[in-house]
Structure 1
């Protein structure tokens, strides 16, 4: 029995077709068929039912497949351990990010690729809630997200920004003459915000609930620049990160909310120590922690 025979068996079972399996394995289709026949002769049982339009495992084949997959996974893990100890990483890493921040993610990922060229990298964007769920579930190795004062359960974080969240209005808005407002001044006013699931929206709803009212969201969009443009046209008060809003002071009047009821923390989040993190994933987290300057850092 050879590992390649087990690999061929698993691939054919997943593809339900010898030709597609051969294409996925980058080998000739007759070779796949011959090796599986050889395995069947050695075991004395047919493992695949070839009688239908699609190839399916026989009862014996279905019983064998979990062990075949376990054997292949064990060999892959042996390679990963050896690669880790010798300084050569392979595999795949997945990083997630929210859309609004000033972190140089392309630079971070280029540097990681130079250090570990054999590692495949994927990057995805989503709301903070979805990204945190994906990190906990192991679909992402790490994510740049916006959170409140506490650390989400099951995760570790590195705080890379801690900023006030402000209201921004058009120059002729009735609140524009008041550079500092109370949170209650936003009660029953049309607000412009990121959608639910975003960290900024969660902070807004938490602060308003603590003040005894629900925010009146008139417009929402996933792009902060769209929020700023809507506010500049007089459609309401946009809730934005302070630095972002102040960078658009030519079109907007930035209103500080006092006392500072709204603050956002941008963090790098990853799973707390435990099983399931690959060597490549741990290397990505270590690299990102070195590359990102934490709040209060040098």
Structure 2
């Protein structure tokens, strides 16, 4: 029963409200409220509190959350092994761009092969995803960075991905075959949050070239960035996979940035000690499949 309460607790923390958690879990809201109350009684602490953003974990709740995710993941893994390996839950941590543009069709094909598997994608920053893999909150992590290495983790480079300066098709630089850092001097930039790995890469190249970045807007959402560029509010710096559709239709233009850019890779990470059941091995194979 405690696992049920922990699953409900995670759903409220993820969705920010009892109402949305109830919808996701298929419970009545009163049942969600009652389960959280029982969990708080069990642990002797208040785990959730109301804020301007909805329900958020308290200090005690924040400490419990990674353990709750780990217990749920281990329970699902055990069920999958006992049931023959083709049922259970698969928890994946992924940065927002990969969760939106790389994972969906691969997960769809995987789900067709293993309909008994419950798939859960946990978005976050690269730092959060690596921590979640290490503390067993997720089985696999997807990151986008220069080659990553850690003694306790296996890293698979799925593919190298170019980074583009993204502009409106009528921008003066749109006709260039490459853009130098100096050409970005004074240009309004619309970028991701400052924890983003490829934003850090851009800032490094600009600093090394003596260029002062003019960051006019920041978005945590890629669609917001693309809409801003379409409205000519500035230019962006994004991986190709995030703008493939817009480049194909001509809605946006992508131009390589010259300079000392290290190659970036989509990378799959998991714990070296993790037992790779057949469904896990097949998941890795699906992530390694390249588009036709």
Aligned twin of 1:168: 166
Contact 2:87 2:114 in 1 (8 A): no
Aligned twin of 1:255: 255
Deviation of residue 290 (structure 1)? 1.7
Deviation of residue 85 (structure 1)? 8.4
Q: Given the two structures, how large is their TM-score scaled by the length of structure 1?
A: 0.59
Contact 2:162 2:239 in 1 (8 A): yes
Contact 2:229 2:235 in 1 (8 A): yes
Aligned twin of 1:106: 107
Aligned twin of 1:288: 283
Residues 243 and 140 of structure 1: CA distance in aligned 2, closer, same or farther (over 3 Å): closer
Structure 1 residue 141 and structure 2 residue 142: aligned?
no
Deviation of residue 283 (structure 1)? 5.0
Deviation of residue 247 (structure 1)? 3.2
Higher CA-based Rg: 1
Deviation of residue 239 (structure 1)? 0.7
Instruction: Give runs of aligned pairs for residues 113-128 of structure 1, distance below 5 A.
Output: 113-114=114-115, 117=116, 120-128=118-126
Residues 84 and 246 of structure 1: CA distance in aligned 2, closer, same or farther (over 3 Å): closer
Distance 2:281 2:269 in 1: 12
Distance 2:150 2:43 in 1: 44
RMSD of equivalent CA atoms: 3.9
Aligned twin of 2:238: 240
Q: Given the two structures, how large is their TM-score scaled by the length of structure 2?
A: 0.60
Distance 2:150 2:212 in 1: 24
Distance 1:112 1:148 in 2: 32
Distance 2:214 2:151 in 1: 30
Deviation of residue 237 (structure 1)? 1.2
CA-to-partner distance for each residue in 1:29-52, whole Å, 9 max, x for gaps?
xxxxxxxxxxxxxxxxxxxxxxxx
Match of 1:207 among 205, 208, 212: 205
Aligned twin of 1:225: 223
Deviation of residue 146 (structure 1)? 0.9
Secondary structure at 2:171 match in 1: coil
Structure 1 residue 97 and structure 2 residue 94: aligned?
yes
Aligned twin of 2:19: none
Distance 1:177 1:160 in 2: 31
Distance 1:181 1:293 in 2: 31
Residues 267 and 187 of structure 1: CA distance in aligned 2, closer, same or farther (over 3 Å): same
Residues 213 and 293 of structure 1: CA distance in aligned 2, closer, same or farther (over 3 Å): same
Contact 1:95 1:140 in 2 (8 A): yes
Contact 2:93 2:124 in 1 (8 A): yes
Aligned twin of 2:10: none
Aligned twin of 2:178: 180
Contact 2:184 2:211 in 1 (8 A): no
Distance 2:43 2:162 in 1: 58
